[in-house]
Amino acid sequence: MAEFTCYDLCGPDPNPMTKQEAKALKALCITLPQYPIIIQIGAERGVSTMAMLEERPDAFIFSIDTGERQQEYNNLKRAGLPWQRVVRGLGR
């Protein structure tokens, strides 16, 4: 079975993130200090959250959206990423 990554979710769905954008986000994450705290606004399916944790599994992410966005957690778990390092914040 092939590994499931953020790149599998990139594409033409609503609010898409391209593979190039995910790659650029990963490159930015490399520059962060050890154990970074990240605020992610707009969770949707969790593409950017996955990209950040794939590059920086030591990160702690506050993922903010207007709804629960269970799909984000489902995708993190499917990818075997440390979903416990992500806290949902609800906002409008």
The pLDDT tens digits of the residues spanning 36-83 come to 999 999 988 999 999 999 999 999 999 999 988 899 999 999 999 999
CA gap 24, 47 in Å, rounded: 13
Residue 2 pLDDT grade (very low, low, confident, very high; cuts 50, 70, 90): low
Q: State how far the Cα of 89 lies from the Cα of 43, in Å rounded to an integer.
A: 10
Compute CA distances 42 → 1, 33, 87, whole Å.
30, 23, 13
- Provide φ and ψ at 32, rounded to 5°: -75, 155
Global pTM exceeds 0.85: yes
* Overall average pLDDT of the 16-42 stretch: 95
